[in-house]
Amino acid sequence: MIRTAVAVILAASLILAASLTVQDGTPNPQAEFYFVRLEYPGFHDNTYLKNWYTDYPQADEHFVVLVNRLTVIKAAKALVHIDDNIFQYPFIYIVESAQMNLTDAHIEKLREYTARGGFILLDDIHGDEDMIPLMATFERVFPGEPLVELSIDHEIFHTFFDIDTIIQVVHDGIAMCKTCQQWENGPSGEHPKVLAHYGTRGIDAVVMVNNDLGDGCQWLDDANYPREMSIFAAKMLLNTVIYALSH
């Protein structure tokens, strides 16, 4: 009953969220949780569309609003580089991770972060075009360790909301085009799934394959963007955060 009521509140909140007061990313002593986006060096300069700043800051602001409205957690947003500052945060969000151009020092820092209990969510990965470079980076961070596909009965889909179907979320240019194929980067980008890496402490990384939770949150206040995509993105992000904080 509680989850049903919360789902109704979420649906009603989507259009209103953008008008609410949001955190600007500066340190907030009252915040209990930071939605932290990783600011990484990419293969391209800051004029390239796909990089760490994709969907920023709207996606982060909207998601923080939902956390504050739907839970008792006092949330804010933040940016972090791959340095010792990452150890201040239990959860890090990485968008367009196929674009990461990491040094050996960066790789070692991410490996240490997860070994010490940190949790990483990798988002906006579509087709072999993105998966091949991502897996090359993953092999450097977790050499010889596989990614496992999570079935819909896994706890992560039921921590706060009950998610029964993995809905594919795509960027606004596709989502708002009624005649466009609703996936990116060719046939290998057609079917969404959720992969996970298991470390010694359990899951320490989740990979959203053929999905774009950031876009779903970025456009949740736009009536032209598919509502079901925004609702799934918000639910999946919140579930993942709750899972990460409770394991």
Taken in order of first residue, the domains within the chain and their CATH numbers are 2-246 (3.40.50.12140)
185-233, pLDDT tens digit by residue?
778 878 999 999 999 889 999 999 999 999 999 998 999 999 999 999 9
- Comparing 7-21, 68-82, 155-169, the range with the smallest average pLDDT is 7-21
Q: Region 4-19: what's the mean pLDDT?
A: 40
- pLDDT for the residue 19: 32
Q: What is the mean pLDDT of residues 101-130?
A: 97
Report residue 100 as tokens: 């990461």
pLDDT grade, residue 179 (50/70/90)?
Answer: confident
CA distance 153 to 3: 17
Position with higher pLDDT, 42 vs 9? 42
Are 125 and 97 contacting, i.e. CB atoms less than 8 angstroms apart? yes
CB 69 within 8 A of CB 30: no
* pLDDT at residue 48, rounded to an integer: 75
* Sheet containing 119-125, strands listed edge to edge, beginning at the edge strand earlier in sequence: 75-80, 33-38, 91-95, 119-125, 202-209, 193-199, 148-149
User: Within a 10 A sphere around the Cβ of 46, how many other Cβ atoms?
Assistant: 8
The percent of residues above 70 in pLDDT, for the chain, comes to 88
Evaluate whether 216 touches 172 at the Cβ level (below 8 Å). Answer: no
Question: Taking residues 115-140, what's their average pLDDT?
Answer: 96
What pLDDT is recorded for position 3? Answer: 43
Buried b (16+ CB within 10 A) or exposed e, 135-162: eebbeebbeeeebeebeeebebbebbbe
pTM for the whole structure:
0.87
Res. 18: pLDDT tops 70: no
Q: What is the helix (H) or strand (E) element at residue 218, kind and residue range?
A: helix 213-218
Cis status, amide bond into 57, omega within 30 of 0: yes
Beta strands in 135-237 (DSSP E): 148-149, 193-199, 202-209
Percent of the chain scoring above 90 in pLDDT: 74
Residue 16: band (very low, low, confident or very high) from pLDDT cuts 50, 70, 90: very low
- The mean pLDDT value for 34-58 works out to 89
pLDDT over threshold 50, residue 35: yes
What's the token pair of residue 202? 């359990």
Residue 20 has pLDDT above 70, yes or no: no
pLDDT at 26: 52
Mean pLDDT, to the nearest integer, of 94-118? 96
Residue 64: name the closest of 92, 90, 30, 33 by CA. Answer: 33
